């Protein structure tokens, strides 16, 4: 027996993918042209699967801020936040996130994945319970495995099932952390957060919302779903990432509990990870400032969302339950057929994400688009035209 034997099925699937013109799980962007365009396989391609919701990756202000930090502070910190890796800019960004969320404290992490690992593996201990939506992100599941709390799933977006499980916990409900996402990354559906917050209040539980896909997208100020539905005061922890609307790399957690600051010194993923480079922190600070300046980008994003959603809907495609920056076409076809459809889109100059079971809801294959404020109406129409030529069976 070899240590590698367990990977043989994966190797066989990868060999099958090698017969395609492009591997959907290892797309090489040969040249990036703009937030919405690149050269892929030698072909000019519209990028419709990047999560670059506000299109800030090429914003001249963010680039200039990053370049200045790069010249003045170097390429990296070469240390963790607990060692030599806390620069003045890290503290400034934490204060800016705290101010943005009107919270007493914020913690910045090297990635959004690490933010979930750090908070969830630490905040709930062996006597506590984590009650999470079944469709939560892999980082949330991995964080639960790292921690020592009892972990229970409830059916996706089913507030009734959540309440039933809290009821069964009895007195333990007051030591239960409910974990949901603002916008779910596969189908773009929103959590029923008003109902969930009300249930949380009734049972005296705790609530964490991962706003990774909703930061900059929802709410009058862009703070996410909790702001949009008016329950921010009932959310104990907000976790998010810089790698979507803010066009950078990193993560954060904010809380109206000042005690969050104490958790900083107990989180292994925080203590033992190198801190974000000065250029990433600088571009993130600039992007956050742009987000706070107004809702022009957010308004343009939602215009594009509705244009794409309605365009694909007019083709008879089965989509996620509501418009959001994640617009996924749900396929009844086999994995082989889904691979072929994805490849045909790429040949037509449109890159989207191919999502396959078991990572997808309901075991369906998905052609997942993520839309940006930087997309033009013409680009949205080209995406719809590309889908129209696929001959996908109508819903």
Q: Are residues 106 and 27 in the same domain?
A: no
Q: Are residues 194 and 217 in the same domain?
A: yes
Q: Are residues 82 and 47 in the same domain?
A: no
Arithmetic mean of pLDDT over the chain = 95
Per-residue pLDDT, averaged over 320-338, amounts to: 92
Band of residue 7 on the pLDDT scale cut at 50, 70, 90:
confident
d(C-alpha 352, C-alpha 341), whole Å: 11
Q: Is the pLDDT of residue 283 over 70?
A: yes
d(C-alpha 122, C-alpha 127), whole Å: 12
pLDDT per residue as tens digits for the range 161-189? 999 999 999 999 999 999 999 999 999 99
Task: Decide which of 293, 318, 352 is a domain's last residue.
Answer: 293
Going 251 to 357 to 224 to 52, the CA torsion angle's sign is: positive
| Contact between residue 326 and residue 370 where contact means Cβ atoms under 8 Å apart | yes
Domains identified in the chain, total number: 2
CATH of the domain at 28: 3.90.1150.10
Helix/strand/coil (H/E/C) assignment for every residue in 89-154:
HHHHHHHHHHHHCCCCEEEEECCHHHHHHHHHHHHCCCCCEEEEECCCCHHHHHHHHHCCCEEEEE
Q: Is the pLDDT of residue 395 over 60?
A: no
CATH of the domain at 123: 3.40.640.10
Band of residue 21 on the pLDDT scale cut at 50, 70, 90:
low
Q: Are residues 320 and 383 in the same domain?
A: yes
Q: Is the pLDDT of residue 394 over 60?
A: no
Q: Are residues 184 and 329 in the same domain?
A: no
Give pTM, 2 decimals.
Answer: 0.95
Q: Give residue 26's pLDDT.
A: 80
Is the residue at 176 inside a domain? yes
d(C-alpha 26, C-alpha 9), whole Å: 18
Residues of the domain holding 182: 74-293
Is the residue at 393 inside a domain? no
Q: Are residues 209 and 82 in the same domain?
A: yes
* b/e sequence 98-124, b meaning 16+ C-beta within 10 Å: bebbebebbbbbbbbbbbbbbbbbbbb
């Amino acid at each position: 027996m070899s240590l590698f034997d367990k990977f043989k099925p994966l190797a066989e699937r990868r060999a099958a993918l090698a017969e395609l013109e492009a591997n959907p799980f290892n797309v090489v962007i040969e040249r990036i042209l703009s937030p919405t365009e690149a050269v892929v396989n030698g072909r000019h391609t519209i990028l419709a699967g990047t999560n670059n919701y506000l299109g800030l990756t090429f914003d001249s202000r963010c680039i200039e801020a990053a370049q200045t930090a790069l010249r003045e502070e170097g390429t990296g910190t070469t240390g963790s936040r607990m060692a030599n890796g806390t620069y003045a800019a890290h503290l400034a960004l934490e204060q800016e996130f705290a101010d943005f969320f009107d919270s007493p404290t914020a913690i910045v992490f090297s990635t959004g994945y690490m933010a979930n690992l750090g908070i969830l593996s630490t905040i709930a201990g062996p006597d506590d319970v984590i009650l999470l939506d079944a469709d939560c992100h892999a980082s949330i599941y991995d964080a639960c495995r790292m921690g020592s709390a009892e972990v229970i799933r409830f059916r996706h977006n089913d507030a009734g099932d959540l309440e039933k499980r809290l009821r069964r916990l009895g007195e333990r409900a007051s030591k239960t952390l409910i974990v949901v996402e603002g916008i779910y990354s596969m189908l773009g559906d929103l959590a029923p957060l008003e109902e969930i917050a009300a249930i949380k209040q009734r049972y005296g539980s705790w609530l964490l919302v991962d706003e990774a896909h909703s930061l900059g997208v929802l709410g009058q100020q862009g703070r996410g779903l909790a702001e949009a539905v008016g329950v921010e005061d009932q959310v104990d922890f907000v976790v998010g990432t810089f790698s979507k609307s803010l066009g950078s790399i990193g993560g954060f957690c904010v809380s109206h509990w000042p005690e969050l600051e104490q958790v900083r010194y107990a989180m292994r993923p925080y203590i033992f990870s190198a801190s974000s480079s000065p250029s990433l922190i600088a571009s993130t600070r600039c992007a956050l400032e742009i987000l706070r300046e107004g809702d022009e980008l957010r308004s343009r994003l939602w215009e594009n969302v509705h244009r794409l959603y309605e365009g694909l809907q007019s083709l008879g495609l089965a989509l996620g339950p509501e418009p959001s920056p994640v617009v996924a076409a749900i396929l009844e076809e086999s994995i082989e057929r889904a691979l072929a459809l994805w490849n045909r889109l790429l040949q037509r100059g449109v890159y989207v994400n191919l999502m396959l079971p078991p990572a997808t809801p309901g075991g369906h294959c998905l052609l997942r688009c993520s839309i940006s404020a930087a997309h033009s109406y013409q680009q949205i129409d080209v995406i719809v035209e590309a889908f129209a030529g696929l001959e996908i069976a109508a819903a």
